[in-house]
Amino acid sequence: MKIAEIALCAVMATPVTAQQTALDEATTAEMKSLNIPGAAVVIVRGTTPIYAKAFGIANAETRAPVSLDTAFELASLTKTFTAMTLLTYAERKVIDLDAPVSRYIALPGCLGSARIRQLLSHTAGIRDEPDEFGTHDDNAMAE
């Protein structure tokens, strides 16, 4: 009987909040309604993760589960995060949107003279040509 009581106390001490349960249920329901096989959700307050959970599968063929270390392809969605970060830095006077990019990072040729504002609005006149920037490896994300 003592073992059962200890196990019950251990389960009761586990910090599962109603908010976490609601978030789990909402995530699962949204994934089901949109036919999303897998996702990882992390909520950060300041610099501290306050919620992190993996849902579903990462690979339909192998049925490998999603983990918090699973790499996802975000494609053009990274532009949104980059723009938000740069605008936050500009608001805090950490960067100047009208400064050349070369003030902050070293880039070759015409890229360094482009202004941050131009890059954010796709008006810097930079062509999207593979031979201009060299080849890239789409599988590099997995490394």
Q: What is the pLDDT of residue 13?
A: 44
Q: How far is CA 104 from CA 14, 107, 115, 132, in A?
A: 46, 9, 11, 22
Q: What is the pLDDT of residue 8?
A: 38
Query: Are the beta carbons of 40 and 72 closer than 8 angstroms?
Result: yes
Question: Structure pTM?
Answer: 0.54
Cα–Cα dist 56/63, whole Å: 9
DSSP label at residue 135: -
Cα–Cα dist 82/93, whole Å: 16
Cα–Cα dist 95/116, whole Å: 9
Per-domain residue ranges for the chain?
Answer: 1-72, 74-136
Q: What is the pLDDT of residue 10?
A: 43
pLDDT by 10-residue block (mean), the chain, 143 residues = 44 61 93 95 91 94 95 85 95 96 82 86 74 57 52
